[in-house]
Structure 1
Amino acid sequence: MFSLRRLTSSFFPAVLLAIATVSGRAQLVTVGDGGPGPVKAQHLTAELTTLAPSVNPGGTLQAGLVLTLEEKWHVYWANAGDSGQPPKITWTLPEGVTAGPLQFPAPSRLPLGPLMDFGYEDLVAFPLTISVAKDVKPGPIHLDAMVNWLVCSSTCIPGKAHLGLNLTVVAQPTPEPARVGALGTALTLLPTVLPATAKYSVMGGAKDYVVTLLTTEKTSNAEFYPYEQDQICNAAEQTLTKIPGGVQIRVPRAAATDAPVGTECTKTDKLAPLAKTLHGVLKLSDKIAYDVTGPVVPGEVAVTVGQGGAASGITIPVAIGLAFLGGIILNLMPCVFPVLFLKGLALVQSSTSERKQLRMHGVVYTLGILVSFWTIVAALLIVRAGGSQAGWGFQLQSPIFIALLALGLFFFSLSLAGQFDLGLSLTSVGGGLAKKEGYAGSFFTGVLATIVATPCTAPLMGAAIGFALAQSAGVTFAVFTALGLGLAVPYLALSFQPAWTKILPRPGAWMEVLKQLTSVPLFITVAWLLWVYGNLFASSTVPSNGVDHESLLLLSLILLAIAGWALGRWPAKLKSSVTAFVLGAIAVAIPLYQPKDTTLVWAPYTTQAVADARAEGKPVFIDFTAAWCLSCQVNEKLVLKSAEVQKVLADKHVTLIRADWTQYDPAITRELAAVDRSGVPTYVIYPAGKDTKADVLPEVLTKQLVLDALAKDTKQ
């Protein structure tokens, strides 16, 4: 199915052109006699102009196409937006003379119903450069041009003009021409390269791109225009936010090309894949625009001041108050409450302890939380100083952090569930609060509470954090400190007023049962982290990458479960500690090892894909596989993804097609039968040529076997 984006970007302009052609063929009549103009066409006047009438051999001259439009009519930028086509010139030039491409000044947004075009109204000039070779003889020359355009209002009309330039090549040096007229103005409005003092970066989130420009230029109405189509939702509002040292523009992502017909990009969750780079024009004002390009860093940026919601109109005292209240509420979130609950149990069991020691444990616990929050905000500020943006929970964009957090919580949960006893654990359960050595436990419990709080956002937190990230370093630290104090204050209050623990039930066997029950939300959190971990690696082209990495992390969790079993089977024994340590080290090493994925992309199998690939005469490699086929996975990991095989496949320009038979597919079944096979794994190479015979490889592959087959089947 076509999406609205695809419908409007390809089909809609074609329909307009067809209607214009059929309803009035006079509209396509070429105007002009080959001279510079101006010539009058429907709803605009076109002409070619230069800054000077002459040019030197070996020199260049600035020329331009100038279009003067009637009121309420417009023409288009290089990327027309949801519909339209930019002007084009086809030149017929003397030998030794060349004309550069049209250059486009920064456009404006031109709304039309639910759509958004990018273009120009009133008057626009498109500069270009004429170059003359050194061996061109002095004398008059004529440059002939056929110009095409699409001019639109509520309807669109194609236009065509036969224009030209009469120039003189002169041997004597000529002075630098003045930049005057429409062409001179347009040359000053072309997007320029970013100055050395400015920095451009892009973060791509689940629903939008956040474009950040660190610059000394003042602006209150910045806009972003991408050169590539199907990247942003053209019709959506672009939200500008001032940040320390620059501006931020939040631009919603485009709808997927297979979204239902008629779906507006602002009203669908089915979005186009995240772009690898974002190249476009950042327009700061009518006179200042930059041509920018940069990689898209996956991640989320907190909504900041002026972007609607609770953050609008917020002040520093309000932000600090919201952060403090949000921190208190954060204690009730599923990821934090088990830790606080265990601390409460420890207070019940230690109610007879000296009051001074209880208070010290509360202070140390609070210090652990504050130090952790200060570390997080310092990292946020370092990231921001580097030109990138990050929000609360930015650590969850790191696969390594996710893996270590999941492993740590899983091991901790195993202990809570009763598989083994950590002894003096991070939560100091069992009276550790009454002992001096338990202070380390209280401190690191505060660290743990902060770590497990990062996946959660309590009510009121979002507005406060969004405000903090748009302010100076001092304000950011103040807001995050208030958030940390809010998280710490319930336990801190209980430690200073032990009498309040009387409202809690008395110690008993029920405490062990409840302690085990607290492992349940932590296990659920681990499951969620596993899902996040897989999504960090999944892509629209290779979604199986996420499953592969999830499987490796699951293997690490299994190793930790075995380590926990060893600790419970032989408590307080050297052999159990050594076994647990070795297994734990292996479990941590597995997700930490993240080799760079240099594997080639395999196209999904269709009968048409195979037919088209063979029709091109190139060698074709078909991998018949399935997720449940263990030998398929072994062959893929050890052979097909090996560096040697990958290099030959790339060097020989082999077309790669993967026939996934995980679920029954009659087309794949027929293809297997055609090569006398009935199951997977099956590997088929069609040698170069349109009518070659299939070369079927054995089920068990080796590198040398595949390399030899490729050497034989890729000979021309």
Structure 2
Amino acid sequence: MKRFFHGLIICSLALLSAAAHAKELARVEASHSDLSIESDMASVAPGQPFWLAVTITPRSGWHSYWKNAGDSGARPVFDWQPADNATVGAAMFPTPKRLPLGHLVNYGYDTPVSLLIPATAPTSGDSFHVALEAEWLICEVECVPQIADIKLDLPVGPTVADNDASAIFKAARAALPDPSFWSSDLTVSSSSSTLTVYMGPEEAAEVTDAYFFPESVGILDYAAPQTVDLAEDGLIIQAQRPSGAPEITTAAGVLMLTTADGSKAAYSLQPLLQMAQETEAQQSATVPALPLWEAALFALVGGLILNLMPCVFPILSLKAFAFVSANYKTAANRQKEGWAYTLGIWLSFMIIVAALLVLRAGGTAVGWGFQLQEPVFVGLLTLLMLVVALSLSGMFNIQFGIEGAGQTLAAREGVRGAFFKGVLAALVATPCTAPFMAPAIGFALTQPVLIVLMVFSFLALGLALPFLVLSYSPALARIMPRPGPWMEKVKEGLAFPMYLTAAWLLYVFTREAGAVAMLVLVAALIGVVFAIWIGKQAAGRLSIRLLAWGFAALALYGIVSEPWQEPSHSPEEGYVEEIPYSGAALDTLLKEGKPVFVYFTADWCITCKVNERIAILTDDAQAAFRETGTAVMKGDWTNRNEEIATVLASHGRAGVPLYLYYEAGANQPLVLPEILAPNSIAKLLNGKTD
């Protein structure tokens, strides 16, 4: 069981002593780390397997990352491009360490680490030649990306081992987790994960501590402790699972065991993944039981604190300006506006809660904030934040009460303006959660409808309470500052939290809908701003106002109609599996006599994305690919790629897109236009079969 510690010691000593003598295939000295590559063979026989070792040496005090980086960071990425028919496999990672950083825990290495890479020499030729694009992240508190473009050459001929590199490979193999001979399963619920390792009682009794490093994100909360228990059938490790965790892709991971003598050993596990079927009673059991009065009090206090959130406070301040300048109003008018403001908040909350309850009754698992999981809602909310920020900045006035500071604001406030300010406050509060809100909402959503409505009514009352109190207290209203030019400056300053909130919502939108959607949303936002600008030039002219409304309507249509939504496609859904482009893979397909369609694209290429949507990633095109047996290759030029750049240049192109179609048995392609017509690929392929 001491093998793990021995492996780490051997690895560290070997990297210091043997690296100076081993023949390196390549070495890169980046800003905060070094990367070197060695082979276990000085010469390798044609078609025979061998090993490469990629060693990352971080600067003292810095660290690199495992395949699952934990709470932050990124795994190393190696893009191997072997020539001829040589192959290079995926990296094998040593057992990681836990690297705490504040309240986060990362998985990685704070010492030199060697990653083993399986490779196979070409069956012909006198050299194993491969190009490598490597990206890895090195972090201390801040993080610095490291990038290298490397070309490797290894003689192909008689097999000759590189004895000078043997210590490096021995140490790297010793640091790998051992294969596990135990069966295991991982049961995942909405709030926890339970790993059961089936081992004999005597083996389990030797274990004093255990820790599971999952390969997939979403299995556990990395910073939370893992509890270890002994059972009759083995070892049970339980861990918290973060709320809103993404879908789990694999249950695989590394199990670190500590025994009574203090030794440690690591084992590679492939547990059976099981998703727990939670009943409604089990789900509600995870919610802290609260007395009804306590839940109502928490909701009231949470709503009150919600006023101080960055996205809500500017709206609160605008309402405060109205009270500052409301000396001319009667007490009755102030009270009416206070209740109108409260009604706007309450009604908005009730609409959201009603939608939530309807969805839950239909079997959809949703919670508070579910509307922010819809890209259309997030896009519209981003637009709302931007419009409010522009209004605060003085570009224009929203015509239900947010017109400006001083007497202008007071004169136009009124009951209607107060009501819509309440609606606006409720809308901008939806992305925020204040202290005390979570337990109150969690309790409410497990209760009958009347209790749900009551708790959320208290939440709405808490949000409206400051101005409701002001509307009934002339003494409080009198101690507020006198109106003056300072109000305009403060109002303009309050625009910046709204701009930041819009920026954050744009980030959320991009994560939900993708880069193409973000581009369309930004264009729509610019369209709305342009419409506002046109409207300001109207000077009473109806034609210009109609033009402004037309631009605004077009921009809104761009958000709500979802023209940006990229088609989801996978082999399981009947779409043809795309082969990453390489010259060697293309040659193989052509030698097999298959027709091949090759398209070169990039995420930043607008023309490419439009072409893909209307001509390549369509049901008709995919059906034509299947029916004609056409292989589809994708050359992604989002990042630099010398091989793709060479292909583009050979066809007289300086950039993407480029579309090539090879008929069966042909060696020269048909070069298609840069702008594809709708379903033109399907028509091309179907024409070949007529």
Q: TM-score range by the shorter chain?
A: 0.5 to 0.7
Q: Which residue of 660, 685, 699 corresponds with 2:674?
A: 699
Aligned to 1:680: 656
Q: In structure 2, the residue corresponding to 1:419 is in which secondary structure?
A: coil
Larger Rg: 1
2:384 alignment partner AA: G
* 1:579 equivalent in structure 2: 547
The alpha carbon displacement at 1:464 in A equals: 1.0
In the TM superposition, 1:120-159 aligns within 5 A as: none
**CA RMSD between the two structures:** 4.4
Deviation at 1:340, TM superposition (A): 0.5
Q: Which residue of 2 aligns with 1:131?
A: none
Where do residues 190-201 of structure 1 align in structure 2 (5 Å cutoff)?
none
Are residues 384 and 480 of structure 1, via their aligned partners in 2, closer, same or farther at CA, if it must alter by over 3 Å?
Answer: same
CA shift, 1:561, in A, is 0.5
- Which residue in 2 is equivalent to 1:161? none
1:332 positional shift: 0.2
Give how far 1:403 is off: 2.2
The secondary structure found in structure 1 opposite 2:310 is: coil
Contact 2:599 2:660 in 1 (8 A): yes
The answer to whether 1:459 aligns with 2:425 is: no
AA of the residue aligned to 1:398 = E
Q: CA deviation at 1:411?
A: 2.3
Distance 2:593 2:292 in 1: 67
2:422 maps to 1:446:
yes
Does the alignment pair 1:329 with 2:329? no
Contact 2:597–2:660 (CA under 8 A) maintained in structure 1: yes
Aligned length: 465
**1:618 shift after superposition:** 3.7
Tell me how far apart the structure 2 counterparts of residues 423 and 520 of structure 1 sit (CA, whole Å): 21
Counterpart contact for 1:672–1:679, Cα < 8 Å? yes
Moved more, 483-492 or 505-514: 505-514
Among residues 462, 467, 470, which one is paired with 1:494 in the alignment?
Answer: 470
For residues 618 and 420 of structure 1, the distance between their equivalents in structure 2, rounded to whole angstroms, comes to: 62
Post-superposition shift, 1:582?
1.3
State how far apart, in whole Å, the 2-side matches of 1:511 and 1:628 are. Answer: 43
Shift of residue 208 of structure 1? 7.0
Q: Deviations 1:352-373 (Å, cap 9, x if unpaired)?
A: 3111110111011111111222
- Cα pair distance change 1:3/1:354, threshold 3 Å: closer
Q: Which residue of 2 aligns with 1:473?
A: 449
Equivalent position of 1:556 in the other structure:
524
Distance 1:381 1:696 in 2: 55
Paired residue for 1:373? 349
Residues 599 and 483 (structure 1 numbering): CA distance in 2 closer, same or farther, change over 3 Å? Answer: closer
Distance 1:650 1:476, change over 3 A: same
Is contact 1:428–1:441 with CA below 8 Å preserved after alignment? no
CA distance in 2, matches of 1:581, 1:316: 48
Match of 1:116 among 177, 187, 195: 195
SS of equivalent to 1:346: helix
> 1:448: how far off?
1.1
Deviation at 1:695, TM superposition (A): 3.3
Q: Following the alignment from structure 1 to structure 2, what is the Cα–Cα distance between the partners of residues 611 and 593?
A: 43
Q: Which amino acid aligns with 1:366?
A: T
Match of 1:203 in 2: none
The residue number in structure 2 matching 1:621 is: 597
Match of 1:412 among 377, 388, 404: 388
Question: For residues 382 and 459 of structure 1, what CA distance do their matches in structure 2 show?
Answer: 27
- Aligned-pair CA distance for 1:351: 2.3
For structure 2, the residue ranges without an aligned partner over 5 or more in a row are 1-65, 71-91, 94-179, 205-216, 221-235, 258-272, 571-577
Residue 657 in structure 1 maps to residue 633 in structure 2 = yes
Mark the CA change 1:109 to 1:629 in structure 2 (over 3 Å): closer, same or farther: closer
Is 2:317 the counterpart of 1:341? yes
Partner of 1:570: 538
Deviation at 1:452, TM superposition (A): 0.7
Task: Report the counterpart of residue 525 of structure 1 in structure 2.
Answer: 501
8 Å contact from structure 2 (residues 322, 413) kept in 1: no
1:77-117 Cα shifts (integer Å, max 9, x gaps): xxxxx98679xxxxxxxxxxxxxxxxxxxx9979xxx9835
Distance 1:597 1:654 in 2: 23
CA contact (8 A) 1:3 1:261 kept: no
Identify the residue that residue 18 of structure 2 maps to in structure 1: none
Q: Look up the SS of the partner of 2:425 in the other structure.
A: helix
Q: Residue 44 of structure 1 corresponds to which residue in structure 2?
A: none
Structure 1 length normalisation: TM-score? 0.56
Q: Could you say if the C-alpha distance between residues 436 and 359 of structure 1 is closer, same or farther in structure 2, counting changes exceeding 3 Å? A: farther
Q: 1:498-524 deviations in whole A, cap 9, x for unaligned?
A: 332344332112211222222221122
SS of alignment partner, residue 363 of structure 1: helix
The 5-angstrom pairing of residues 586-605 of structure 1 reads: 586-594=554-562, 598=567, 600=569, 602-605=578-581
User: Among residues 350, 353, 369, which one is paired with 1:393 in the alignment?
Assistant: 369
Contact 2:318–2:491 under 8 Å retained in 1: yes
Q: Using the TM superposition, give the Cα deviation of residue 632 of structure 1 relative to its aligned residue in structure 2, in angstroms.
A: 3.5
- Relative distance call for 1:666 and 1:235 in structure 2 (3 A) is farther
Distance 1:323 1:497 in 2: 24
Q: Deviations over 1:436-455 (max 9, x none)?
A: 98212111211111111010
Which of 320, 344, 364 is equivalent to 2:296? 320
Secondary structure of 1:566's aligned partner? helix
Unaligned segments of structure 1, at least 5 residues? 6-10, 13-81, 87-106, 120-150, 157-205, 210-233, 240-248, 265-277, 285-300, 538-545
Percent sequence identity over aligned pairs: 36
User: What is the letter of the counterpart of residue 388 of structure 2?
Assistant: F
| 1:533 Cα offset (Å) | 1.8
Aligned-partner residue type, residue 450 of structure 2: G
In the TM superposition, residue 685 of structure 1 has moved relative to its aligned partner by 2.1
Structure 1 residue 679, shift from structure 2 partner: 3.6
Report how far residue 461 of structure 1 moved.
Answer: 0.7
Is the Cα contact below 8 Å between 2:392 and 2:404 reproduced in 1?
Answer: no
> Which SS does the other structure have where 2:195 is aligned?
strand
Contact kept in structure 2, 1:357 and 1:433, CA below 8 Å? no
Q: Aligned to 1:668, which of 629, 640, 644?
A: 644
Alignment of 1:542-553 (within 5 A): 546-553=514-521
- 2: CA distance between counterparts of 1:638 and 1:238? 44
Q: Contact (CA 8 Å) 2:531, 2:548: kept in 1 or not?
A: yes
Provide the rounded CA distance (Å) in 2 between the counterparts of 1:250 and 1:629. 35
- TM-score where L is the length of structure 2: 0.58
Alpha carbons 1:675, 1:694 under 8 Å: kept = no
Q: Verify the 8 A CA contact 1:3 1:258 in the aligned structure 2.
A: no
Cα drift, residue 592 of structure 1: 1.3
Alignment of 1:341-360 (within 5 A): 341-360=317-336
> Does the 8 Å CA contact 1:357/1:434 hold for their aligned counterparts?
no
- Conserved? CA contact 2:186–2:194, under 8 Å: no
Tell me how far 1:305 sits from its aligned partner.
5.7
Map Cα deviations across residues 460-515 of structure 1 (whole Å, 9 max, x no partner).
11111111111222221221111111101011111111332344332112211222
Whether the 8 Å CA contact 2:318–2:402 is kept in 1: the answer is no
Query: Contact 1:4–1:262 (CA<8 Å) still a contact in 2?
Result: no
Deviation, 1:350, is 0.9
Secondary structure of the 2:656 match is coil
Letter in 1 for 2:558: I
- The residue aligned with 1:190 is none
Give how far 1:346 is off: 0.8
Give secondary structure in 1 for the equivalent of 2:562: coil
Q: Secondary structure at the match of 2:353?
A: helix
1:87-98 equivalences under 5 Å are: none
Cα-to-partner distance string for 1:113-135 (whole Å, 9 max, x where unaligned): x983588xxxxxxxxxxxxxxxx
